[in-house]
Amino acid sequence: MSRSTAGLIAAALLAACTALQPPEPGRANIYVLETVPAAAAPRPKRDLVLEVEVPRARPGFDTSLMAYTQRANGLEYFARNRWADTPARMLKPLLAQALERSGGFRAVVQAPNTSAVELALDTELVRLQQDFGARPSRIQLTLRAQLIDVAARRVLASAEFDETESASSDDPYGGVIAANRALGRLLERLVDFCVQASSSTGVRR
């Protein structure tokens, strides 16, 4: 067999093998949680330093995959759409930003930090999912929070915040927009909770 013939056969075999390989998956669409700062309502200022702890997440939501549901107790994930980080980790700076913007505390810091603090905010992401069991689909966002008196080692108050927002389109991007709207409302409620609960701390300045 001549070299030219062998080369042609090898090239044909390579092309055939390439054609049989599965296509490479498309690039994922990546989204972030973010909110548009709202005009801060006047709130009483506490001369206290509040530390925002790293949020935790319930099983099924401690992932950058975007969750959705089509029936009760069922949880699925979009294949080509995901968050830039886990929603719980993206929440921490947003929580701190909202609390700092409120003016309700002398300072707001994010854990871990080395400065002395009087209060700590512990949060847990209970769920963040797009529900396709309703039409239009809707985002369900639930966050549990505890405000802790660090020196006394006691929980001052705890609450669960639940927000639902209809999606403008029944696709992942519609869910992202709805999630950010729901988050904006939730953060305002959380700020009020922290400012009000901090009045019962044993620290006096």
| Segments making up each domain of the chain, as ranges | 3-200
CATH number at 3-200: 3.40.50.10610
Nearest to 178 by CA among 143, 136, 145: 136
Nearest to 29 by CA among 100, 89, 80: 80
Q: What is the pTM for the complete model shown? A: 0.82
Q: Compute the distance between CA of residue 165 and CA of residue 163 in angstroms, rounded to an integer.
A: 7
What is the per-residue pLDDT across 156-168, written as a single tens digit (0 to 9) for each?
Answer: 999 999 999 999 9
What is the per-residue pLDDT across 130-143, written as a single tens digit (0 to 9) for each?
Answer: 999 989 999 999 99
What confidence score (pLDDT) does residue 4 get? 54
SS3 65: strand
Strand positions, DSSP E, 3-153: 29-31, 46-52, 56-57, 65-69, 76-83, 105-110, 119-131, 138-149
What mean pLDDT is reported for the chain?
87
Element (H, E) at 197: helix 172-197
What is the per-residue pLDDT across 179-192, written as a single tens digit (0 to 9) for each?
Answer: 999 999 999 999 99
What confidence score (pLDDT) does residue 118 get? 96
Q: Is the pLDDT higher at 159 or at 14?
A: 159
